Amino acid sequence: MDGVYYLGVRIDEEPDGQPNDEALGDDFRPWSVHDDEDGVWFPTSLIPGRQAILIVDASEEGFFHGWIDYDENGDWRGKEPEERLFDPSLPLQKGFNWIAFEVPEDADAPETSFARFRFGRQETMAYAGEERNGEVEDYRTALCPRYDVWIMTDDIVYSPGEEVFLDFYVSDVSQIEIIRHRADGTSSLLWAGTVEPGRQEIREHGGVLRALIAGTDTIEMLATSLPTGCSTWVTTPFVVVEP
């Protein structure tokens, strides 16, 4: 790690990935001030045969590498389905990047799987092994066939006190929880309940979201389809900047 190429705000030195069953092998507690997995967000659910979106915060211009273990065999070598998201990588601009990728139709992972992302100045990287620069981040992911879920804010940068307009969508009658993870490492529940299918605003359910502490906040929505029982989660960031 050279302190130049990293994802998000928090970084730690890792010559290689530190996998475990929760994708937290190098972290003390998810969403805490010690959690350095803070540079990639999944604002849309992963559905085989459909396009998905990532939001990525890069420290500098560099190359982004990604893998998802679609067959959940413990590595990211798979070719059927193809588990490497970009061939060989995707150039990123400094700051926030919105990235679209295709989830293979033959992705057959159980409900929970894992993603790995690497970022650095090298155009080619393997999913494992030491690199002289950059950062590795691991995330738990979920695949729910035909269960479409997404979340988004109306902007990415806000001043303290501004209202953040939050929309979300579910394709089934769903039980959801919307949680705010603040830049200072604290979290709070914004709203929970049962919703009908369709696009909705959190204001419709009595929730008001405002920009508070300077830094990057994450909004996480946990959603369970009541007809199928399949559960997934989506995340989206916003940044609070002092004037």
What span, in angstroms and rounded, lies between the C-alpha atoms of 82 and 69? 9
From residue 26, alpha-carbon distances to 13, 37, 54 in Å are: 10, 9, 22
Residue 90 belongs to domain with CATH number: 2.60.40
User: Whole domain around residue 122: which residue ranges?
Assistant: 40-142
Tally of domains within the chain? 2
pLDDT at 235 over 60: yes
pLDDT at 24 over 90: no
In a domain, residue 32? The reply is: no
Same domain, 67 and 130: yes
pLDDT at 234 over 50: yes
The dihedrals phi and psi of 203, each to the nearest 5 degrees, come to: -65, -30
pLDDT at 79 over 80: no
Same domain, 106 and 76: yes
In a domain, residue 4? The reply is: no
Predicted pLDDT at 120: 95
pLDDT at 16 over 60: no
Same domain, 112 and 199: no
Same domain, 128 and 181: no
In a domain, residue 8? The reply is: no
Same domain, 165 and 89: no
Residue 168 belongs to domain with CATH number: 2.60.40.10
Same domain, 193 and 126: no
Same domain, 97 and 184: no
Q: Which of 90, 114, 142 is the last residue of a domain?
A: 142
Q: Note the pLDDT tens digit of each residue in 96-142.
A: 999 999 999 888 766 788 999 999 999 999 888 888 788 999 999 99
Same domain, 125 and 160: no
Mean pLDDT over the full length of the chain: 88
| Burial environment of residue 243 by CB neighbours within 10 A (0 to 12, 13 to 18, 19 or more) | exposed
> Residue 219 — pLDDT band, cuts 50, 70, 90?
very high
Q: Which of 88, 123, 142 is the last residue of a domain?
A: 142
In a domain, residue 203? The reply is: yes
Q: Which of 116, 142, 168 is the last residue of a domain?
A: 142
Predicted pLDDT at 102: 94
Q: What percent of the chain has pLDDT over 90?
A: 67
State the DSSP string of the chain.
--SSS-BSS-----SS----TTS-TT-SSTTSTT----SEE--B-B-TTSEEEEEEEESSSEEEEEEE-TT-SSSS--BTTB-BSSSS-EEE-SEEEEEEEEPPTT----SEEEEEEEEES-S---SSS--SS-EEEEEEEEB-TT--EEEEES-SEE-TT-B--EEEEESS-EEEEEEEE-TTS-EEEEEEEEE-SEEEEGGGGT---B--SSEEEEEEEEEEETTT--EEEEEEEEEE---
In a domain, residue 190? The reply is: yes
pLDDT at 61 over 50: yes
pLDDT at 34 over 60: no
Q: What is the pTM of this model?
A: 0.89
Same domain, 224 and 176: yes
In a domain, residue 25? The reply is: no
From residue 13, alpha-carbon distances to 21, 39, 68, 173 in Å are: 21, 15, 22, 43
> Residue 23 — pLDDT band, cuts 50, 70, 90?
very low
In a domain, residue 47? The reply is: yes
Same domain, 176 and 223: yes
Q: What percent of the chain has pLDDT over 70?
A: 86
Same domain, 103 and 192: no
